[in-house]
Amino acid sequence: MNDEYEQEKARRQRQAREWRPGEPLPTIAYTPEEDALWETVTAKLRSLHEGVACAHYRRACESVVLERERVPQLAEVSPVLTALTGFHLRPAEGTVPVERFLGAFEEDGFYATQYLRRPESPYHSPEPDVLHELVGHAVMLGDPVFADLYRRFGQTAKRVSSPDALRALIQVFWFTLEVGVVLEGGRPRVYGAALLSSVAEMESLSQVDLRPFDIAEIVSQNFDDMHCMPVLFAVESVDHLVTELNRFLTRL
């Protein structure tokens, strides 16, 4: 099973590597087993989103409607995002170098992998997969407020040059647009893509060390993205998040 998985993953990575801008996005021949995995995991995620996802995400889901019974193609989702916020998807071979990954946001581009997580680990993937990209990032990119935040990260990534500034940028991106939490009605709600696409992360939300949003503490907080997050930062509102991130990104 592992050999077959790695072989198929390598084929899809090759398709992404061979893609050139201006060409149609690669079409992936997902297997019935992968479609079934997608259906099972996304059904569980949707049930959790009803009580745990932030209002911006739930509204965006009404516009970025993902297939429920099969893995969607990037080519199906990308034009929807373009119509909503101007963003488009680009195929990623795997983990993209951070400067290129973040920098693409300035050009309204998002690099997305097209392979699916391992079947033996359906509820938490230690690496980005197509489920993470679409359920997490793509839906949030359909929201104008969050699309603008991605764009601001991209503009900053193109501008900063020092290793310390880049590290701070990565830290803040991780603890916001990947594993961010916002308080709504006094309760924690998730807006970060890594949380929104992980059953395990959302089910463990009540057990994490949830700290007040503080940029300085975020920059100094260590993290291991191979496991569920033990520490998260909750901002008091999306408006406050926008204000704090714009202040940080301008000064960086």
Tens of pLDDT along the chain (252 residues)? 568 899 999 999 999 999 999 999 999 999 999 999 999 999 999 999 999 999 999 999 999 999 999 999 999 999 999 999 999 999 999 889 999 999 999 999 999 999 999 999 999 988 899 999 999 999 999 999 999 999 999 999 999 989 999 999 999 999 999 999 999 999 999 999 999 999 999 999 999 999 999 999 999 999 888 889 999 999 999 999 999 999 999 999
Rounded CA gap, 25 and 12, in Å? 12
Is 178 known to be catalytic?
A: yes
Where residue 89 falls (left for φ over 0; alpha for ψ -120 to 50; beta otherwise) is beta
The residues facing 188 across adjacent strands are: 183
Q: Which of 137, 198, 201, 244 is catalytic?
A: 137
Q: Which of 78, 125, 197, 198 is catalytic?
A: 197
Is 197 known to be catalytic?
A: yes
CB 60 within 8 A of CB 142: yes
Percent above pLDDT 90 for the chain: 93
Domains located in the chain, CATH noted: 2-251 (1.10.800.10)
The whole-model pTM stands at 0.95
Give the chain's largest Cα–Cα span: 49
Do β-strands 187-190 and 181-184 pair in parallel, antiparallel, or remain unpaired?
A: antiparallel
Query: What pLDDT was estimated at residue 3?
Result: 83
User: Count of H helices and E strands in the chain?
Assistant: 13, 6
SS3 label, residue 233: strand
Q: Which two tokens stand for residue 192?
A: 């970060």
Is 204 known to be catalytic?
A: no
CA atoms within 13 A on the CB side of 190: 31
Q: Which of 34, 78, 132, 244 is catalytic?
A: 132
Q: Which two tokens stand for residue 172?
A: 């803040």
Query: What pLDDT was estimated at residue 2?
Result: 67
Query: What pLDDT was estimated at residue 200?
Result: 96
Query: What pLDDT was estimated at residue 143?
Result: 98
Helices (DSSP H) in 68-122: which residue ranges?
74-85, 98-103
Is 240 known to be catalytic?
A: no
Rounded CA gap, 121 and 124, in Å? 6
Q: Which of 34, 93, 178, 244 is catalytic?
A: 178
